[in-house]
A = this chain, B = another copy of it.
Amino acid sequence: MADLHALMKKLQKKNDSKIVLLVSDGLGGLPLEPGGKTELETANTPNLDALAKKGTLGRSIPVIPGITPGSGPGHLGLFGYDPLEFNIGRGVLEALGIDFELGPDDVAIRGNFCTLDDDGKITDRRAGRIPSEVGAELCKKLDKIEIPGVEVFVRHVKEYRLVIVLRAKGLGGDINDTDPQKTGVPPLEPVGQNEASAKTAVLCKEFLKQAGEILKDDHPANLLTMRGIAKMPEIPTFEEVYGTRAAAVAVYPMYRGLARLVSMDVKDAGQTLESQMDCLEKIWDDYDFFFVHYKYTDSTGEDGNFDAKVARTEDVDTCIPRITALNPDVLIVTGDHSTPAKMKSHSWHPVPVLLSAENARFDGCQSFGESECIQGGLGQFEAKYLMWLAMAHAGRLEKYGA
């Protein structure tokens, strides 16, 4: 396989074009019954349909056929980073998502406050879903933990969730989760899979020991489990690869973290689609590439709420006129994966792609939906090629060869 990033760096050129990548998370769906319509097909989406009529549709395979991606691989693919090549640990994503500036010596750990009984067995893996104020207070206490030879950072994320970062030379990140994924059993011991990770595992144990002391009177949050223990991967920046100034207009920490991972500028986009559109308008002149992320098509799908996913899809449609009013040269609307309400989970199904641009090849498609996308002019392609299409339609790629 050719090194596609090296090739992109060679072929990319700069111009004044603007590219918007609107990711409606988990966009692809399934009909509830054979012969029925998917969430996207059920939704009333006049603005997306108008774009589909003029533009071109297609289907993106997030990783390879059959693979259901998590949010990390799903977004890396859309950003043009082969998700089989770049593997991002959950702890790293979580740390990036709360604006923690991870360095190369850091091991990031996702923590969940949990409840232990007197026998040391977990009775609640989420500590009764304590409110964020309580979680934040407990994290302040844990942040005082000191372990010789290592810097320790504890940061609160939300409710029962936190991030721990261990900073020291020579630590590895290949360690199992201590969350046993069930109740009635004690947490698992952290075990390193290699020498460097064994060093980290010793630190994790010491941290958990001290945390147990500190939290012993804080029932229901009297301990925490560790998950997704990982180091930062080495990853080229988005600007280096594409030569674009890129901004992320995302609300959720995870997706802000993913954008930060490839060194996009992560903007303050508020908490709603409206505030995201405000942000987009405000920064329009300052960037070439805009990653806009909308979470709720995924979360409603995960909830198994078909009608709510339809409604959230209609919300996405509603924001389209504010984007097209900015006159982007390329507007792509897609998802990082499918999340069919019928399955209440991410899935492997191809993801609908809509590409609107002056030189998009007309394909006769009349609306934006899974079945129309089968007929789409972009065909079916691996997500890692989407940025190539974006750059091409933006006139940002030189000819390859003479």
Among A69, A397, A399, the one with the most B-chain Cβ atoms within 10 Å of its Cβ is: A399
Contact residues in B for A389 (Cβ distance below 8 Å): 65-66, 348
Q: Which residue of B lies closest to A82 (CB)?
A: B2
Contact residues in B for A85 (Cβ distance below 8 Å): 2
Contact residues in B for A69 (Cβ distance below 8 Å): 399-401
**At the interface, yes or no: A325 with Cβ under 8 Å from chain B?**
no
Of B4, B88, B359, B385, the residue contacting A340 (CB under 8 A) is B359
Residue contact B385 to A72, C-beta cutoff 8 Å: no
Residue contact B93 to A361, C-beta cutoff 8 Å: no
- Please give the distance in Å from A344's CB to the nearest CB on chain B: 11
1/0 per position for A338-351, CB-CB distance to B under 8 A? 00101101111110
Among A349, A389, A402, the one with the most B-chain Cβ atoms within 10 Å of its Cβ is: A402
Residue contact B380 to A68, C-beta cutoff 8 Å: no
Residue contact B371 to A374, C-beta cutoff 8 Å: no
Instruction: Please classify how large the interface on chain A is, using the bins under 10, 10 to 19, 20 to 34, 35 or more.
Output: 35 or more
Stretch at the interface among A28-36, A152-160, A272-280: A28-36
- Please give the distance in Å from A49's CB to the nearest CB on chain B: 13
**At the interface, yes or no: A53 with Cβ under 8 Å from chain B?**
yes
- Residues from 194 to 230 in A contacting B, C-beta threshold 8 Å: 228
Whether A385 touches B93, Cβ cut-off 8 Å, given contacts A85-B2, A374-B375, A380-B380, is: no
- Residues from 384 to 401 in A contacting B, C-beta threshold 8 Å: 385, 387-392, 397-401
A362 CA / B54 CA spacing, docked (Å): 25
Residue contact A63 to B400, C-beta cutoff 8 Å: yes
Q: Which residue of B lies closest to A33 (CB)?
A: B362
Contact residues in B for A371 (Cβ distance below 8 Å): 362-364
Among A30, A66, A72, A340, the one with the most B-chain Cβ atoms within 10 Å of its Cβ is: A66
- Please give the distance in Å from A82's CB to the nearest CB on chain B: 8
1/0 per position for A213-249, CB-CB distance to B under 8 A? 0000000000000001000000000000000000000
**At the interface, yes or no: A70 with Cβ under 8 Å from chain B?**
yes
A196 CA / B34 CA spacing, docked (Å): 58
- Residues from 5 to 22 in A contacting B, C-beta threshold 8 Å: 7, 11
Residue contact B87 to A401, C-beta cutoff 8 Å: yes
- Please give the distance in Å from A331's CB to the nearest CB on chain B: 14
A114 CA / B325 CA spacing, docked (Å): 47
Whether A68 touches B392, Cβ cut-off 8 Å, given contacts A375-B374, A380-B380, is: yes
A377 CA / B53 CA spacing, docked (Å): 20
Contact residues in B for A362 (Cβ distance below 8 Å): 30-31, 34-36, 371
Q: Which 7 A-B pairs have the closest CB atoms?
A: A66-B388, A379-B380, A90-B402, A2-B84, A66-B392, A70-B401, A73-B401
Give 20 A-B pairs besides A67-B397, A68-B400, A363-B371 with Cβ atoms closer than 8 angstroms.
Answer: A1-B1, A2-B84, A35-B53, A36-B362, A59-B379, A64-B385, A65-B388, A66-B390, A66-B397, A68-B399, A69-B401, A70-B400, A73-B400, A83-B401, A87-B401, A228-B402, A348-B388, A348-B392, A374-B375, A380-B381
| 13 sample A-B contacts, Cβ–Cβ < 8 Å, listed by A number | A1-B1, A2-B85, A30-B361, A59-B379, A66-B390, A71-B402, A83-B401, A90-B402, A343-B359, A347-B359, A347-B392, A374-B379, A375-B375
